[in-house]
Amino acid sequence: MAAGSRTPHVAILPSPGLGHLIPLAELAKRLVLHHGFAATFITFSDFSSPAQEAFLDSLPPGLSSLLLPPVPLDDLPADAQIETRLCHVVARSVPRLRDILATLKATTPLAAYVIDIFCEDTLCIAKELGVPHCMYCTTNFTALSLLLYLPTLHRNTSCEYRDLPEPVILPGCAPIRGEDLLHPMRYRNDDAYAWLLHIADRVREPEGILVNSFVEMEPVASKALMENEPGRPPVYPVGPIIRSGSNDSEEKCSECLEWLDRQPVGSVLFVSFGSGGTLSMEQLGEVAFGLEMSGTRFLWVVRCPSDKQAGGAFFGDSSADDPLNYLPEGFLERTEGSGLVVRFWGPQVEVLNHGSTGGFLSHGGWNSTLESVVHGVPMIVWPLYAEQRMNAVMLSETVKVAMRPEVGKDGVVRREEISRVVKELMDGEGGRASRDRMAELREAAAKALTEEGSSYKALAEVAGKWKAGIAV
């Protein structure tokens, strides 16, 4: 932005990964379109990918991006978990980030600095520069409740959380078993847990916390966090904020949507485990056989198995191994009339918005969950990592818009269980109840984002405070 322009500006730092970049970008779009801001994204080159570059190139007017230089990570163990690597990248990028924010403040009316939860170590810069700062929780009130409570839980617990004799009780949330807590909490002696605890210790430092959820979806949990409490920043529900469309090629979109056009209304189960979700070779085969046994029409986004995955497969590189090679022999031929399998990526938003889609078998990532809610599609939730087990508890036990398959003692969901839960979602009484509840939630989600809705008003309140802090 040229010096002298008086459009209020917001600097946004998402942690690496499309799962964080996309919801922050959609938040920025709402600030630009509805509240008169301009925005600059600051991203990390260490975790850059073709998918991320394509997404940043597609940003609309009013949104620009800057790339932080890479930082050395060769001192980390080769098996360091992703949370550990993310936090080290953020902490080591502080000096260069300080230069960028100082320049933005000198050349724009910098009204606010927004981060996600992995970037709390950069708040010191905003405080030094006197810039209002806020955290955007890209997940829900349940996860935020756990983060706020984690330091206390840590002090009061000596065993591994999976060995807790009683579930963890968070305000307004369903009881959560230790094994269903955040993925980095599996092992207390792991660096990933130490970093999570570090984040939790600092989660009260921002001047405000925006949450990508809405009151009607988590009424009791949201009320508990929105009540004033000494030492806790104000909390604002601003969701559901989802992407407006997928970044897939026209060819792939056309293939999926043309196939869906030929299917009966509400008859298709969409199967996708997210941008980072992969299954073992054994589990991939069980999913295939389970879908076939169910007799249900399906559209399946398949990726190479985690124990066979070739380099590049994660981002859909055409040179990577073909995931179709790992499907059971004859599966594609036997399901040709009732199923469509696509490699690596699918136009998820468009598929969920299609009238033929009647269910969604998902990993339960929060972005996918909100996309399902906005389009009114009931779910089978199959958590893999991050906060997804907590999401599964909330969606199946509290919100009641999802079913959860039973995992065997060997960690594998067998084909008979997959077939059972698919048939129940698509044709059973449980599925009808979930569908009715999801229809109610879809209506509430749409209302929350109107000018009279709770989420629109919450973001407008925050935007107004930021504007008041500068001479516009």
Residues annotated as catalytic are 20, 116
Nearest to 79 by CA among 187, 201, 198: 187
Task: Write out the chain in H/E/C secondary structure.
Answer: CCCCCCCCEEEEECCCCHHHHHHHHHHHHHHHHHHCCEEEEEEEHHHCCHHHHHHHHCCCCCEEEEEECCCCCCCCCCCCCHHHHHHHHHHHCHHHHHHHHHHHHHHCCEEEEEECHHHHHHHHHHHHHCCCEEEEECCCHHHHHHHHHHHHHHHHCCCCHHHCCCCECCCCCCCECHHHCCHHHCCCCCHHHHHHHHHHHHCCCCCCEEECCCCCCCHHHHHHHHCCCCCCCCEEECCCCCCCCCCCCHHHHHHHHHHHHCCCCCCEEEEECCCCCCCCHHHHHHHHHHHHHHCCEEEEEECCCCCCCCCCHHHCCCCCCCHHHHCCCCHHHHCCCCEEEEECCCCHHHHHCCCCEEEEEECCCHHHHHHHHHCCCCEEECCCCCCHHHHHHHHHHHCCCEECCCCCCCCCCCHHHHHHHHHHHHHCHHHHHHHHHHHHHHHHHHHHCCCCCHHHHHHHHHHHHHHHCCCC
Helix (H, G, I), strand (E, B) or coil at 300: strand
| Residues 265, 268: Cα–Cα separation, whole Å | 8
Residue for token pair 């033929």:
356
Residue type, 302: V
Instruction: Please answer whether residues 221 and 141 qualify as being in contact, where contact means their C-beta atoms are separated by less than 8 angstroms.
Output: yes
Token pair belonging to 364: 């339960």
Q: How many CB atoms lie within 10 A of CB 443?
A: 12
DSSP one-letter string for 19-76: HHHHHHHHHHHHHHHHH--EEEEEEEGGG--HHHHHHHHTPPTTEEEEEEPP---TTS
Helix 50-57 with 18-35: angle, nearest 10 deg: 10
